[in-house]
Amino acid sequence: MDQWYAGITTDDGVEKAAVKVDVTKPVGIDVGLLNWLTLSDGKVILNTLDFGARINKIKQL
């Protein structure tokens, strides 16, 4: 097989600030179709897939 793969890594030299996260509180996660994730704090992470285009296939399942 004549297949080639390349991996490229770059460094822009800018240091990222550390993000402090409170890991002492439990978090609930609800996975859905319209909203990909809904966290227990109410934060909604939208689904990037276009389910409107696939709704007929989903209905058949």
- For the question of whether the overall pTM of this predicted structure is more than 0.85, the answer is no
Q: Which pLDDT score, from 0 to 100, does residue 1 have?
A: 65
Condensed to tens digits (0 to 9), the pLDDT of residues 16-36 reads 888 887 778 777 877 776 777
Please indicate, yes or no, if residue 4 is contained in any of the structural domains.
Answer: no
Q: Which pLDDT score, from 0 to 100, does residue 60 have?
A: 79
Please indicate, yes or no, if residue 45 is contained in any of the structural domains.
Answer: yes
**Quick one: pLDDT band at residue 15, thresholds 50, 70, 90?**
confident
Please indicate, yes or no, if residue 51 is contained in any of the structural domains.
Answer: yes
Q: What is the tally of structural domains in the chain?
A: 1
Please indicate, yes or no, if residue 37 is contained in any of the structural domains.
Answer: yes
Please indicate, yes or no, if residue 52 is contained in any of the structural domains.
Answer: yes
**Quick one: pLDDT band at residue 51, thresholds 50, 70, 90?**
low
Please indicate, yes or no, if residue 21 is contained in any of the structural domains.
Answer: no
Residue 48 sits in which domain range? 29-60
DSSP for 1-61, please give it.
-------------PPPPPPP---SS---EEE-SSEEEEETTS-EEE--S-HHHHHHHHHH-
